[in-house]
Amino acid sequence: MMEIHCIVSGKVQKVAYRYYMQDAAGELKLTGWTRNLTDGTVEVLAQGELDILKEFVEYLYEGSLLSKVEGVDIVWRETKEVYEDFSILH
């Protein structure tokens, strides 16, 4: 199992981006979390098998219907803490 830690920039807050990530992660059976950051970006941590995470990266760039993703910074790493589901943190 691997995990990715991502910072997504662009128009990604108040456009259902986190809910879109939660739905995508659920569809792919990934675990982790997502949250808004104070600088207007969205942070995402997702865990799963390498090939499934690669597929999830496509969703990060696509975003919700109202979002406009300008950039995705991704760090690939070994899983540190294992999560049981994918949640939206507030």
Cite the active site residues: 18, 36
Burial of 14 (0-12, 13-18, 19+ CB in 10 A): exposed
Distance between CA atoms of residues 2 and 49, nearest Å: 6
The helix/strand/coil state of 84 is coil
